[in-house]
Structure 1
Amino acid sequence: MVVTNNPKFKKIQRATGIWLKEASHFNKVMADNGIDVDYVSPQGGYVPIDPLSLGTDDMDATDWEYYLDDTFRNEHLAKSLKPADVDPQDYQVIYFVGGHGSMTDFTENTELAAIAEKIYANDGVVAANCVGVCGLLPMRTADGNRFVHGRKLTGFTNDEEALNGLTNDVEFLLEDELSKAGASFVKGTAFEPNIVVDDRLITGQNPNSATGVGEAIIKELLQ
């Protein structure tokens, strides 16, 4: 599970980080299926949670379970691994967790991209959700092409960014950047679950898609 270290928007005075639901709900699907997870971030160490994802209207039982869990808070988020700590041979899946923090430290991170490229080359699954899909942008295929070129995928849409009121405040619009990179962007209804599977690439559109991404991964692993 790839998570951001970035606690603040670049253009505006506003806190960010991971969106809790995208970590907690995905992690729960893995745990319920007996799959161990590790957390890695661009710098290692502390991982901030976007405070808006902790609103009482957004928090369900799974979110509270993880938010109050000592291992989640004191190990996974406080002591996340650095890319150099990760041997891609040890993992069947890599999952880029969303939250606007990731737009700053995933988009050009070739270390994380290299881990994902190796996992995919070893017949593993590359997955990403919401804004975390920006982690696919620096990935390349063996012949040097953009990994997302010609692939069906989804991610946080321009419509959803507009509904958030952040169109002019984010680093870029993810839907536009993925389309420019040659991806076939599959847009669903705003803030409704939307999961797109293209071979061993599995993406979700928004925070409410995290459970579905996890379930699609389990289905892929059982084939």
Structure 2
Amino acid sequence: MKIVLILTSHDQLGNTGHKTGFWLEEFAAPYYTFVDAGADITLASPKGGQPPLDPKSDEPGAQTEATERFKKDPAAQKALANTVTLDTIKAEDFDAVFYPGGHGPLWDLAEDKQSIALIESTFAAGKPLALVCHAPGVLHHVKAANGEPLVKGKSVAGFTNTEEEAVQLTNVVPFLVEDMLKENGGNYSKGADWQPYVVTAGNLITGQNPASSEPAAQELLKMLAK
């Protein structure tokens, strides 16, 4: 099994002067889910190298078993510090694609032509494609084969407006994930804030928040097993 994880290279939280990036749990939980299943993992980002970590995801209250494992795993840390550039990634080289969230992807990956092309070709090939928390936002400009938004008519989940309100970034982000998915015609649904909630639509898997990252990764493995 060859799985590629696509991380953000964007580290500025709008014009707040604060840092953002990827959310640690949303990387670590899927990473170890795939490692423990024996997958061959590639890590990529638009700029390559070390992707920026959202400092809030490194705070004590945001730690999980997977993040603690990562902090004691020099091999995983080295892999993360050396992501390959997104322009070297081709859908035909992988069995599945996974996008961890964090706020960063809303700025760079949502607008990245290589990311859009990777998603479109992965989806068209019927390969599992999973995105969690803010990462469903990278589907903003992605089109299906018929030219309509990829999410149109599909069951999707993603970070909720109320969760964004809770972290007080409603007016900072370039767009709200929930609103965008609805505007693009997705059949958006959600669970309780901060609780695991994952939706599948064919080979598309979307998860609502950090707690949904491991279940989304497990769902991806189930698809691969089929």
Give the TM-score range, shorter chain.
over 0.9
- Per-residue CA deviation, residues 193-219 of structure 1 (Å, 9 max, x unaligned), is 000011110010000000100111111
Q: Aligned AA for 1:62?
A: A
Q: 2:75 aligns with which of 71, 76, 90?
A: 71
Indicate which of 77, 83, 89 corresponds to 1:80. 83
Paired residue for 1:48? 52
Q: Deviations over 1:113-146 (max 9, x none)?
A: 1112212222201110000111112211122211
- How far apart are the structure 2 equivalents of 1:87 and 1:167? 34
Aligned match for 1:112, one of 109, 112, 115 = 115
Once the two structures are TM-superposed, the CA of residue 89 in structure 1 deviates from its matched residue by 1.0
Q: Greater shift after overlay, 112-121 or 67-76?
A: 67-76
Q: Aligned-pair distance for 1:22?
A: 0.2
Indicate the residue corresponding to 1:164 in structure 2: 167
Residue of structure 2 in register with 1:137 after alignment: 140
Tell me, yes or no, if structure 1 residue 195 matches structure 2 residue 186: no
Query: What's the secondary structure of 1:179's corresponding residue?
Result: helix
Alignment counterpart, residue 37 of structure 1, candidates 37, 41, 45: 41
- Structure 2's unaligned 5+ residue stretches are none
CA distance in 2, matches of 1:192, 1:33: 24
1:95 paired to 2:89: no
| Identity score, percent | 30
Q: Which residue in 2 is equivalent to 1:126?
A: 129
1:66 deviates by: 1.2
Is 1:57 the equivalent of 2:61? Answer: yes
**TM superposition shift of 1:60:** 2.1
- Could you tell me how far apart the structure 2 residues matched to 1:4 and 1:154 are? 20
Task: Kindly provide the amino acid, as one letter, of the partner of residue 204 in structure 2.
Answer: L
Q: Which runs of 4+ in 1 moved over 3 A?
A: none
Report the secondary structure of 1:197's partner residue: strand
8 A contact 2:196–2:209 mirrored in 1: yes
2:178 is equivalent to residue 175 of structure 1: yes
The one-letter code of the counterpart of 1:183 is G
What is the deviation of 1:73?
2.2
Deviation at 1:15, TM superposition (A): 1.0
Judging by fraction of residues, say which structure has more strand: 2
Following TM superposition, by how much is the alpha carbon of 1:69 offset from its aligned partner in structure 2, in angstroms?
Answer: 2.2
The alignment status of 1:26 with 2:30, answered yes or no, reads: yes
- 3-state SS of 1:120 partner: helix
1:166 counterpart SS class: coil
Distance 1:141 1:173 in 2: 21
The amino acid that maps onto 1:58 is A
Instruction: Identify the range of structure 1 (64-73 vs 3-12) with the bigger mean alpha-carbon deviation.
Output: 64-73
Matched, 1:3 2:7: yes
TM-score when scaled to structure 2? 0.94
Query: Residue by residue, what CA displacement relative to the aligned partner does 1:73-98 show, whole Å, maximum 9, x if unpaired?
Result: 2232x221112211211111111110
User: How far apart in 2 are the matches of 1:3 and 1:182?
Assistant: 26
Letter in 2 for 1:51: P
Q: AA paired with 2:103?
A: H
Aligned counterparts of 2:75 and 2:9: Cα–Cα separation in 1: 18
Q: Is the 8 A contact 1:109 1:138 kept in 2?
A: no
Q: CA RMSD in A?
A: 1.2
